[in-house]
A = this chain, B = another copy of it.
Amino acid sequence: MTAQSPLGPDTAPARLFDLAQQLRVDAVRASTSAGSGHPTSSLSAADLMAVLMTRHLRYDWQAPDNPEADHLVFSKGHASPLLYAMFKAAGAVTDEELMTTYRRFGHRLQGHPTPELPWVDLATGSLGQGVACAVGIALAGRDLERRDFRVWVLCGDSETTEGSVWEALDKAGRHRLANFTVIIDVNRLGQSGPTELQWDTDAYARRVEAFGCRALVVDGHDLEAVDRALTTAADGSAPTVVIARTVKGQGVAEVADQEGWHGKSLPPDLARQAVAELGGERELRVRGPQPPHAGPTLKVDAPEVELPRFELGEQVATRVAFGRTLAALGARPEVVALDAEVGNSTHAEDFAKAHPSRYFQSYIAEQQMVATAVGMAVRGFRPYATTFAAFLTRAHDFIRMAAVSQITMALCGTHTGVEIGADGPSQMGLEDLAMMRAVRGSTVLYPADATSAAALTAAMADLPGISYLRATRGAYPVLYGPEERFPIGGSKTLRHGPDDRVTLIGAGVTLHECLAAADRLAEDGIPARVLDLYCVKPVDTETLVRAARETGALVVVEDHHPEGGLGEAVLSALAAADAHPAVTHLAATGLPGSGTTEELLHAAGLSRGRIADAARALAARRH
C-alpha cells in the first residue's frame, strides 16, 4: 500500500487497520501540536470512521458541493482531531495544515468543526445537536429533493442524555428515514467520569428501537463487524443507529479506558510514545465510493408571489397576516414551513393547506423543529419555523449554534407579551426580543399591522442569516396601504409635526397604544410624534436621531421585559450616534396573570393612559 494507490471501496475491511491507526496517529499529533483538543475521544472512533470513509461514505472530497453526495455530521464535534485526520487521509488538507494550524487563530481547523470548512455542513460542539440537524438534512434529501444521498452521523455516547437526541430519533423513526444512520461511539467515558449507561449497549438498543429506529450493536474496533453494520445500515430499509462499543483512547495503552484524559492533548513525550505504539506515521490515502455526478441544476425563474392585501382599518392579527403570507410564499419551491403542533394558533397551518408536501409537523418538540429547519437550510431550502415566542426559548441553544453555522432561516414567534390575555404568563413571550437580538447577525422584526407583517414575512425569504418575526395574538387595525414598503432597518413615522414635543416609539401592540396616547396628548396640546419601529434589529438610527434632535424626548414602549428588547435597542442606537434625548422606557415589569389585553397592558404600565402620562411628565421636565 503506498500513497499512490489509495484505499477505496474494494479494500477489505480487515486491511483498514493501518488507516485507522493513521487517523489515530494524526489525531494525537494534531492535538499535541496545538496543546489542546480531544485525542482520546478521537481514538475510540477511528476504526468506525476508517471503514465509513473508505467503503461507505459516497463523497468526493474535491467536490464537496455535489448535491448527490452523502453527508457526514460529527455530532461529537470535539472529536475534531479525528475529523481533520480524515480530511488529511482524503487529501483535502495537508499534514502541514493539520500540524501547524489546528486550533490556531485565524485558521479554519478550529477546536470544533464549523462550516468555514467546505466539508462541514454544521457547526457542532453543543452536544445532541448534530443528530437533530441531520434529521432535517435526511428529510430534505428524501422528501423534498428525491435524492439518494445518505446522512451519516457520528454521535458521542455522553450526548445521548440530551433529550434532543430522542426528539431526533423519534422523528427519524416516524418518517422512516432509511437514508439516516447514526453511529454512537460508546466509549464509556464522558468528560468527568463514566457515562450514565457506560457499556450497556442493550439499554441503548432498547431505547433506539422504542423510538422507532433499527439498532445494530457492534464491536466498534472489529473492522469487519463495523463494515457489516454499515452495509446493513445502508440497505435502505430503516433509519439505523449503530451502537458501537469502543474504548476511549483505543490503541494507546497509557490512556485507553482511563479517566482523566477527556479533552486533554497528550504531552509531547507521551504523544511520541503513542505514535510509536500506533505504528508510526503513515501517508495512506483514501478514495472512497464516489457519488453520482450531479446533472445541471435546472434554473427555475423565481415565481411571482402574490402577497395578501389588507384594507386600511380592517382588524387583522399579525399572526394571521404571517400565515397567509407564508402560504403565498410557498409559490417559491425552496420555502418550507415547520410547526410545533400549534399551527392553528400561529396560522402556519395556512401553509400546510396550500403546500402539504413542504410542511413538516414537529409536534411539541421545538428543539427538533429548529434542528429540522437548520438541516433543510443546509440543503438550500428556506425554512420558516414557527411556534409561540415563549416556546422558542426551548430552542435557544439550537438558534445560537445555527448562527455559528451561518445558517439562513426564518423564525416566527407568536403570542407575545402580556397582550395575549387570559392564558397567563407561561404562554407570554416576554424574553424573545432579548434572545433573538443577541443572536449573531440576526434580523429582528416586529410588525404592528397586517400589511407590514405580510411585507416583512416576505422579506425574510431573501434575508441572509437568522431572521425573526415577532407576531401578536390579537387583531388590530391595518395601518398601511398595500403599496407601502418596509425596508429592513427602516421605521415608519405615523404622526409628526413641526412642534412635536415628544416622540412615542412602539412596535406591535404598543404602537397602537402609542397612537391612542398621541390622540390624548394632542387634546392636552402636546403634539407627539409616533414611530413604528417595526425593525428592531438593525434599528433605524437615523430616524431615532432626528426624533431625538427635533423633539428632545422619547418614550419607548414594549410588551417585553425591560432588558434586551426595543428600549435597549433604541438606547444603543442613540448612544452610538452620540444623541442624548431624555428617554422614558416603558416595558413589562411585575409578574402578569390572566386578564383581558386591556387589563394586562394597563397593569404592566403599557396602556395608552400610562404612555400619555409618561409623555406628559417627560415633556414637562423638558420645558
The interface centre, meaning the residue of A104, A124, A339, A440 with most chain B CB atoms within 10 A of its CB, is: A440
Contacts of A572 in B (CB 8 A): 562-563, 567-568, 571, 585
A95 within 8 A of B: no
The residue that A210 contacts in the complex, of B125, B167, B210, with Cβ under 8 A, is B210
When the two chains form their complex, are residues A114 and B424 in contact, meaning their CB atoms are under 8 A apart?
yes
A6 within 8 A of B: no
When the two chains form their complex, are residues B595 and A105 in contact, meaning their CB atoms are under 8 A apart?
yes
Instruction: List the one stretch of A321-329, A389-397, A515-523 in contact with chain B.
Output: A389-397
When the two chains form their complex, are residues B396 and A426 in contact, meaning their CB atoms are under 8 A apart?
no
Assembled-state Cα–Cα distance A112/B591 (Å)? 14
The residue that A106 contacts in the complex, of B158, B400, B563, B593, with Cβ under 8 A, is B593
Assembled-state Cα–Cα distance A301/B406 (Å)? 55
A596 within 8 A of B: yes
Contacts of A166 in B (CB 8 A): 163, 166
A203 within 8 A of B: yes
Given contacts A163-B163, A568-B572, contact A206 B196 (CB under 8 A): no
A128 within 8 A of B: yes
Contacts of A167 in B (CB 8 A): 161-163
Q: Oligomeric state, in number of copies?
A: 2
Assembled-state Cα–Cα distance A239/B578 (Å)? 61
Assembled-state Cα–Cα distance A594/B191 (Å)? 20
Instruction: List the one stretch of A282-290, A428-436, A527-535 in contact with chain B.
Output: A428-436
Assembled-state Cα–Cα distance A103/B439 (Å)? 35
Assembled-state Cα–Cα distance A396/B591 (Å)? 18
Assembled-state Cα–Cα distance A430/B403 (Å)? 12
The residue that A426 contacts in the complex, of B125, B589, B603, with Cβ under 8 A, is B125
A438 within 8 A of B: yes
When the two chains form their complex, are residues A426 and B438 in contact, meaning their CB atoms are under 8 A apart?
no
Give the residues from 72 to 110 in chain A that come closer than 8 angstroms, CB to CB, to chain B.
77, 103-108, 110
Assembled-state Cα–Cα distance A391/B367 (Å)? 13
Given contacts A342-B192, A422-B103, A593-B110, contact A397 B404 (CB under 8 A): no
The residue that A594 contacts in the complex, of B111, B126, B211, with Cβ under 8 A, is B111
Distance to closest chain B CB from A97 (angstroms): 14
Contacts of A567 in B (CB 8 A): 572
The interface centre, meaning the residue of A206, A349, A424 with most chain B CB atoms within 10 A of its CB, is: A424
0/1 interface trace, chain A 591-613, chain B, CB 8 Å (1 if under): 10111100110010000000000
The residue that A163 contacts in the complex, of B37, B165, B344, B596, with Cβ under 8 A, is B165
When the two chains form their complex, are residues B426 and A431 in contact, meaning their CB atoms are under 8 A apart?
no
Assembled-state Cα–Cα distance A344/B425 (Å)? 37
Chain B residue nearest in CB terms to A399: B393
Contacts of A565 in B (CB 8 A): 438
Contacts of A585 in B (CB 8 A): 572, 575-576
Distance to closest chain B CB from A37 (angstroms): 8
A345 within 8 A of B: yes
The interface centre, meaning the residue of A195, A367, A425, A589 with most chain B CB atoms within 10 A of its CB, is: A425
Distance to closest chain B CB from A469 (angstroms): 17
When the two chains form their complex, are residues B425 and A114 in contact, meaning their CB atoms are under 8 A apart?
yes
- Chain A, interface size: which category? 35 or more
Distance to closest chain B CB from A340 (angstroms): 9
Chain B residue nearest in CB terms to A583: B575
When the two chains form their complex, are residues A563 and B537 in contact, meaning their CB atoms are under 8 A apart?
yes
Contacts of A476 in B (CB 8 A): none
When the two chains form their complex, are residues A431 and B400 in contact, meaning their CB atoms are under 8 A apart?
yes
Contacts of A174 in B (CB 8 A): 196
A34 within 8 A of B: yes
A148 within 8 A of B: no
Given contacts A396-B394, A438-B431, contact A563 B564 (CB under 8 A): yes
0/1 interface trace, chain A 16-33, chain B, CB 8 Å (1 if under): 000000000000000000
Assembled-state Cα–Cα distance A364/B297 (Å)? 42
A170 within 8 A of B: yes
The residue that A404 contacts in the complex, of B391, B426, B564, with Cβ under 8 A, is B426
The interface centre, meaning the residue of A105, A170, A603 with most chain B CB atoms within 10 A of its CB, is: A105
When the two chains form their complex, are residues A431 and B424 in contact, meaning their CB atoms are under 8 A apart?
no
A219 within 8 A of B: no
Contacts of A196 in B (CB 8 A): 170, 174, 363
When the two chains form their complex, are residues A105 and B600 in contact, meaning their CB atoms are under 8 A apart?
yes
Contacts of A34 in B (CB 8 A): 422
When the two chains form their complex, are residues B163 and A367 in contact, meaning their CB atoms are under 8 A apart?
yes
Assembled-state Cα–Cα distance A525/B166 (Å)? 61
When the two chains form their complex, are residues B106 and A595 in contact, meaning their CB atoms are under 8 A apart?
yes
Chain B residue nearest in CB terms to A590: B440
Contacts of A68 in B (CB 8 A): none
Assembled-state Cα–Cα distance A569/B190 (Å)? 38
When the two chains form their complex, are residues A427 and B594 in contact, meaning their CB atoms are under 8 A apart?
no
Contacts of A36 in B (CB 8 A): 422-423
Chain B residue nearest in CB terms to A102: B594
A561 within 8 A of B: yes
When the two chains form their complex, are residues A364 and B427 in contact, meaning their CB atoms are under 8 A apart?
no
The residue that A591 contacts in the complex, of B165, B341, B406, B424, with Cβ under 8 A, is B406
Give the residues from 146 to 190 in chain A that come closer than 8 angstroms, CB to CB, to chain B.
158-159, 161-167, 170, 174, 190
* Given A396-B396, A568-B572, 5 more pairs with CB closer than 8 A: A107-B594, A110-B424, A192-B344, A393-B396, A571-B571
CB<8 Å pairs between A and B, sample of 23? A103-B422, A112-B423, A112-B425, A112-B426, A123-B425, A126-B394, A158-B364, A161-B167, A161-B364, A162-B364, A163-B365, A163-B368, A191-B342, A192-B342, A396-B396, A396-B397, A400-B431, A441-B591, A564-B568, A568-B571, A571-B572, A572-B585, A578-B621
Nearest 10 CB-CB pairs, A to B? A163-B163, A125-B426, A105-B595, A564-B564, A580-B580, A434-B438, A437-B563, A568-B568, A105-B599, A571-B571
